[in-house]
Each structure stands twice: as C-alpha cells, then as structure tokens.
Structure 1
Amino acid sequence: MHPATAYILEHADALRAEAEPSDELGRITDRTAQILRESGGIRLLQAKDLGGFEAHPNDFLDWVLAVGEQHPSAGWVAGVVGIHPWEISIASPRLQKEIYGQDPDVWVASPYAPFGRAVPVEGGYRFSGSWPFSTGTDHCEWVILGGLLADESGRPTTPPTMRHFILPRSQYEIVPDSWNVMGLSGTGSKDVWMTDAFVPDHRVLDGVEVRDNTYSDRWRPGAPLYTMRFGVMFPFAISAGTFSIARGAVAVADRHIQGRVSSQGSVSKTDPFVLDALAKAHADVEAGIAHVRAIIAGFYDTVGSGGDITVKDRLRFRRDQVRATDRAIASVNELYRLMGSSSIQKASPLERYWRDLQVAATHVCNSREPCYLAWGLEHFGGEIPPTAQY
C-alpha cells in the first residue's frame, strides 16, 4: 500500500466528518483539502524531479478509492485534480518550474472543454472565454483550459485547432454561487472566466500532441508513466472517482441493512431481495475496479518494456472502462431502490452517495454510447468518428 493511501485510511473518520460540511459549503472544506494535501496523493502522478512520487497509476486508483469511500465529493476532487500533475509533468520545464518551483503541492484545476477563443499575438495568445465545471477550483492556484485558435474577430479557424491553455490564479475569475447542483455539491465545480488574458507560448499545449505522446516523448522519453497516453489516463481518473463513490455507497447501504426493519416488518439482513441486490452491488463494483486495474497494469507493463498502447488497445480500454462504471452504477441504483423511504432523508448518508453517483454518471468520460460506437466501427474496419476520445 502506498503511504498516501495509508494516510487516508488513518484519517478516515476525520475525512468522513467533512462530507456534509463540504456539501453545505459548496466546495471541499479547508480541513478536507488539508487531509488530501498531507496524504501526498495529489502528487502521485507528478514527476519525481518536480517533487512528486511518479507512482504506478494503480497506486493513484487506490488512493482515490480510499478518499471517495469516506467523502464522495473529495474522491471526485482527488480524481480530477489528481490527474493534472500528469499533464504538467509532460509540459516544458519552464512551465513546470513556474507551477511547482516554489511548492510541489500546488493544485491545478481544469476544464478541457474548448470554450475559449485564442487570438495569436506576439509571444503567445490573447485568450477569452467562460467554462463550467472547474472541479476543486477554490483550492487551486492554476488552471488548464481548453480553447480554439481564432481570428481577430474571435471566430475559430478552419479546421478547428484545439489547445490547452495554462493560467495562474491571477489571470482568471471564479464565479461565486455558480455550482448549484443535485449531487457532488462539495466538489465546488464552479464556473471560471477571463477576457483578453495574455498566455505566453510556453503555457500552451497542443491538444493533439498531448494525446499522441509528442510531449511525453520530448520531455519524458522512456518514462512508463508518461507514455500511458492522455486518452487513457484522464478517463481512468474519472473512473477512479466514480468507483470510489460506488464503493462508498455499497458500504453505507451494507451498514444500513444491518439494523433495518421495513414498515411491513421485514428484516433487511434476511430479506432475499435485499441480499440479492447487495451481493450483486458488491460484486459488480469490485469487478469493475478489478477490470480497470488489470487493464491499466497491462498497459503499464507494455510501455515499460518499450511497447505502445495502440488505437485498438485504447478503444478497447474505453469500451471496458465505461462498461465497468456503468455496471457499478446500475447495481448501486438497484440496491438503493430497496433501501426504503428513510434513504431519501438528507440526514442519511445513503441519500448523499446516491445523488453524488448520479452526477458522476453524467461525466463525458462515463458516457458509454460514443465509446461503444467508436470501438465497433474500428472493430469492423470502419472510420472512427473525429469526436471519439481515446
């Protein structure tokens, strides 16, 4: 077990106590952020020369699972914010020094949706835009934002050219009260925006070159972790956050069943329908985690021995990854259907885990149909849709 995960398990009670306050605050509490920082988990995918652990991706999975089982919003933040050091680690040394030079524990937010418009100017870009869903942003000092190159009028150039723009906290605004949602309330995934911010060239990454390992090959040649490909690592992180909530939901339901007697006098721990749903939920969640863990371990061994993760491999991963999370979510939903009316009370942790899992299910990396389509078309020799993410 990695020390980062061990730290979370040692502080499980303290972390669990911060779940409800985080929901009420609309972001993870300062105490939650402190526990995550002190565990060192955000630095698991960060390069060693930048103060990180450069750990195996499955060490990161274990850490996120441990966090989210106790505090679902914190698990989501752990997965999303925790993946960003992977990308910063393949950026230019100049940018890495700007972000981590004084403090290796700096947190970086996103989102990657290409809602920004970037007009080329001398030495960089004039960048404007507004983005929703910047998870954990109140505790972050930098942000990675997606944007398209544009002409002087702000119209995207043809064909569309996507970049990742990396800005310090001084250059963008967080929109207060912009995160009013049914679940994952404690993630504080607020809107961010800026107008005409200057972003120098060295803080801009080509979206295609992030995905095709151009940056990894340039700055981290031979390093297995950074050869794993963005199209694998980012969905993997989202699955980690999703599984963490699903595992926590099953654990909470299990404890609830221990002492529950229905209004009709049925004892839940001997009710055959409840036990059937509980067994399936335990099995499906753990099977999903094991499935994704095994694929990631195989990929890591492949790149570690000098191989590559092919297009076919990546499409298979996305097919299996979304199927694994979908099975976990479906089995939890079926279990919660049998938990009775008490489970809808806000005082019950059952209610929080269920809501949070429904919101996690909506993330684009958990969207199954596009992944099945892309895999199927490639499988039968067709053309992969340009919108496919792999």
Structure 2
Amino acid sequence: MSHEVVRRVEEVAAKFAAAADATERGGKLSDESVALVRQAGVMRMLQPAEFGGYAAHPGDFAEAVMAVAKRCGATGWVCGVGGVHPWEMALLDPRVAQELWGENPDSWMASPYAPQGTATITDDGYIVKGHWNFSSGTDHCDWVVLGALVCGADGAPTTPPQVLHVVIPRADYTIIDDSWDVIGLCGTGSKDVVVDGAYVPAYRTIDSSEVAEGELAAERAGRTETLYKLPFWAMFPLGITSAVIGICEGALDAHLDYQRERVNAMGTRVKDDPYVLSAISEAAAEIAASRTHLIDGISRLYDLADAGKTISFENRSLVRRNQVRAAWRAVAAVDEIFARSGGNAARKRTPLQRFWRDAHVGLQHAIHTPGSLYHSAALTSMGTEPEGPLRAMI
C-alpha cells in the first residue's frame, strides 16, 4: 500500500500539473505549487518523527518525489533535493533540529553541497565565505546547507583537506535573483547564493566524510532509526534521480495523450502506425525498469542497515552504478518517443516539450556523471578497492 504522502500527492495530481506552467514562467515554484507540497507533506517524509516528520522508508520518499515530478518536473526536483536535507539534519547536534523545526515543522532548507566556499576556524565555530551555484528552491527556504573547505587562521586549507556541511539561516546569506537562466527545470529557481563572512557555530556543521558513511554519523547523533544509518551518497542521489524518473514518467503520459488522436503527416492515425506503437511500448518498459532499479537499490541498502550489517563500499558502488544507469535509461527512452511525436510536439503549449527539456537538464547534475563512477564499480566487481578520486560521490 502506498505511503499516505504518496496518496495525498495523487489526490491533488491535477493541481500540481495545472500549476506547472506558472512555476516555469516564474522561474521558481509558484505559490500554488509550494502550498501543494506543504499540504501533501513531501518535504517532511525523511524528517524525524519528533519534529513532525514521517521518518519514512526512503523508497516511499522516492515514490512521492516521482509522483510530484510526473506532473511538474521543477516541483518534483525541488522535493527531491530539498526533501533529503531533513534526513541529514537529523545527524547533526540536536540543537540544530530544534532551531529548524522547533517553531515550524514545515521549515525548508536549500543547498548546494559543492565546496565553493571556505570555513575558517575561529572560536568555537567558523567564518564562512563563498559563492555557490544551484541552490534549488532557495526562494522558499529558511536555511541553506553549504559545502565549505576548512581553512586555518592563516587562510590556508587544512591538511589533509576537510569539507564541512554548514547550516546557515536566511539572514546570513544573499540570493542572487538573476542567476538562474536555463532551458530546462526553469521553475526550480536554482539560484546562486553568497555568504560574506557569516559566523557558524561548530554544532551547526558536520564533516562530509562522516555523513558519507552514514552509520558513524547516526551513532554520534544517537539515532537508532534505520533510515538515518544510510550513507549520504545513497540518499542525496536518490532524491535527484527520483525526480528525473518521475519527469520521464510525465513525458510518457504526455506523449500518450498527444498521440491518442493524432494523425501524422502521411495521413495515418498513430494508433495504426506499428512503428510508433512499438517505440511507445519499449520506452514505457525502459522507464518502468528505471523506477524498479532505483527503488530496489535503496531498499537493498536499507535492509542491510536494518539487519545491523555494515554497508560496504562495494554495496554503495553497485547501487550508485545502477542509480546512474536508471537515469540515463529513462531519459534515452523519452528521446525515443519525443522523436516520434512530430513537429507540433515542440510547441511551447505542449507539456511534452517541457518534460523533455526538464529530463535532459536533470541528467546534467554531477551525480549522474557515469565515467569515474562506472570505472569504480567495475573495479569493485573485480575485487579491487578503488582509491582517491574513484571513491568520489559513492
């Protein structure tokens, strides 16, 4: 049976779809889209139960993100990225959760995690400076979680290099309004943010290598729930790829609606064209396989953690390989059906072209880069332990 949040998304699916154009035109989630996300509770799925969250199975979270993205790619993307942040916040000092949700359980956080700034050590905390790209949904958030390279008092990076995730309130950073000018996922409002010397207490930070392992961070935070024992590089990519696959499901639905009564340039009804019908079925099967592959991977890791077993680098590597492949497979399937939709499908009034653009821009995210990740997964399968850069984002 579907999680209650997934059921609520499905109940208002038509409203998510109706708000999609306004979200794209505005370059950020429309007020209606934000209200629908809050009403359904998508952002609280991975939030601790004691702060109004569901602490749900990550597979259920993926289902909810896909259900939103199937109707509005930009809104699904923001849910996929922003919805993972409450999971990480549960691994920090308990004071952070109280600050975030003590008064408002619907408080949202943006990111990005790329270390595009510095955190200079000072008394019981850090001075943070930098300019970060791609802060999805940031206009609607009260906090931001940023990656920052730790520096000593002399301004030089520490040895060995250390990257922190730092949590900063809205008053301490600036959103650059004209910084999101793109061809797809326009409505995500993934704008740049700037921090110019904000003080961040040490308790509002976490070492990126610690949260990457999952189990260690959960132990230090006193978290016993299985959800919080999972590794970061399984959870963060889950939300993003869920959005991409949901977008591809939306493209398939839009294609079917478009083709149902269409007559092609040769005067043949699409329903009578065996070549297009074959392509539709093949694409549908590929997208369905991508959904199954994604949920199977995170469920396997969850089951290992739930059984008290250590999630090895090999476990993580193979799940990441399959997750990346799922995204590429689904987007390739959309290309096959879009190519058979005729010229009118490219008109801006059709939702199909928006899904097609959103899917391709979603595939551009760094977590979907197959090169070194596939390299690492192949070595792992051969019994060789990858080192250095080959362990990145796994």
TM-score range, shorter-chain basis? Answer: over 0.9
Farther-moved stretch of structure 1 (3-12 vs 107-116) = 3-12
CA–CA separation in structure 1 for the residues paired with 2:83 and 2:222: 19
**Corresponding position of 2:315:** 313
TM-score by length of 2: 0.96
The 1:153/1:260 distance shift into structure 2, 3 A limit, reads farther
The amino acid that maps onto 2:126 is Y
**Corresponding position of 1:60:** 61
Q: CA deviation at 1:295?
A: 2.2
The amino acid that maps onto 2:393 is Q
Secondary structure of the equivalent of 1:18? helix
Farther-moved stretch of structure 1 (166-175 vs 228-237) = 228-237
**Corresponding position of 1:344:** 346
Secondary structure of the equivalent of 2:194? strand
User: Does the alignment pair 1:251 with 2:243?
Assistant: no
Q: CA deviation at 1:152?
A: 4.2
CA–CA separation in structure 1 for the residues paired with 2:376 and 2:255: 36
CA–CA separation in structure 1 for the residues paired with 2:174 and 2:262: 47
User: Does the alignment pair 1:163 with 2:161?
Assistant: no
State how 1:366-377 maps to structure 2 within 5 Å: 366-377=368-379
Native 8 Å contact 2:122 2:153 kept in 1: no
The amino acid that maps onto 2:20 is A
**Corresponding position of 1:126:** 127
Identify unmatched segments of 5+ residues in structure 2: none
Q: CA deviation at 1:6?
A: 1.4
CA–CA separation in structure 1 for the residues paired with 2:171 and 2:223: 33
Native 8 Å contact 1:260 1:267 kept in 2: yes
**Corresponding position of 2:41:** 40
Secondary structure of the equivalent of 1:115? strand
CA–CA separation in structure 1 for the residues paired with 2:372 and 2:85: 24
The amino acid that maps onto 2:296 is A
CA–CA separation in structure 1 for the residues paired with 2:154 and 2:357: 42
Runs of 4+ in structure 1 off by over 3 angstroms are 151-155
Native 8 Å contact 1:127 1:195 kept in 2: yes
Native 8 Å contact 1:118 1:154 kept in 2: no
TM-score by length of 1: 0.97
Q: CA deviation at 1:159?
A: 2.6
**Corresponding position of 2:209:** 208
Q: CA deviation at 1:148?
A: 0.2
Q: CA deviation at 1:153?
A: 5.4
CA–CA separation in structure 2 for the residues paired with 1:139 and 1:168: 13
Native 8 Å contact 1:134 1:189 kept in 2: yes
Native 8 Å contact 1:111 1:132 kept in 2: yes
Native 8 Å contact 2:129 2:197 kept in 1: yes
CA–CA separation in structure 1 for the residues paired with 2:350 and 2:78: 22
**Corresponding position of 2:146:** 145
State how 1:24-103 maps to structure 2 within 5 Å: 24-103=25-104
The 1:384/1:10 distance shift into structure 2, 3 A limit, reads same
CA–CA separation in structure 1 for the residues paired with 2:298 and 2:276: 33
Match of 2:236 among 223, 234, 237: 234
CA–CA separation in structure 2 for the residues paired with 1:289 and 1:28: 25
CA RMSD of aligned residues (A): 1.3
Q: CA deviation at 1:215?
A: 1.7
CA–CA separation in structure 2 for the residues paired with 1:313 and 1:194: 37
The 1:220/1:267 distance shift into structure 2, 3 A limit, reads farther
What is the percentage of aligned positions where both structures have the same residue?
38
Native 8 Å contact 1:242 1:360 kept in 2: yes
The amino acid that maps onto 1:349 is P
CA–CA separation in structure 1 for the residues paired with 2:219 and 2:71: 38
Q: CA deviation at 1:385?
A: 4.1
Farther-moved stretch of structure 1 (200-209 vs 156-165) = 156-165
CA–CA separation in structure 1 for the residues paired with 2:41 and 2:222: 22
Secondary structure of the equivalent of 2:134? strand
Secondary structure of the equivalent of 1:259? coil
CA–CA separation in structure 1 for the residues paired with 2:96 and 2:193: 21
Secondary structure of the equivalent of 2:148? strand
CA–CA separation in structure 1 for the residues paired with 2:353 and 2:156: 45
Secondary structure of the equivalent of 2:196? strand
Secondary structure of the equivalent of 1:19? helix
Q: CA deviation at 1:350?
A: 1.0
The amino acid that maps onto 1:225 is L
Aligned length: 390
Secondary structure of the equivalent of 2:334? helix
Identify unmatched segments of 5+ residues in structure 1: none
Native 8 Å contact 1:220 1:226 kept in 2: no
CA–CA separation in structure 2 for the residues paired with 1:187 and 1:168: 20
Native 8 Å contact 2:217 2:229 kept in 1: no
**Corresponding position of 1:105:** 106
The amino acid that maps onto 1:294 is D
Secondary structure of the equivalent of 1:195? strand
CA–CA separation in structure 2 for the residues paired with 1:8 and 1:220: 32
Secondary structure of the equivalent of 2:46? coil
Native 8 Å contact 2:283 2:337 kept in 1: yes
The amino acid that maps onto 1:281 is A
Q: CA deviation at 1:221?
A: 4.0
CA–CA separation in structure 1 for the residues paired with 2:35 and 2:222: 30
**Corresponding position of 1:285:** 287
Q: CA deviation at 1:365?
A: 1.4
CA–CA separation in structure 2 for the residues paired with 1:215 and 1:154: 28
The amino acid that maps onto 1:133 is F
CA–CA separation in structure 2 for the residues paired with 1:12 and 1:365: 28
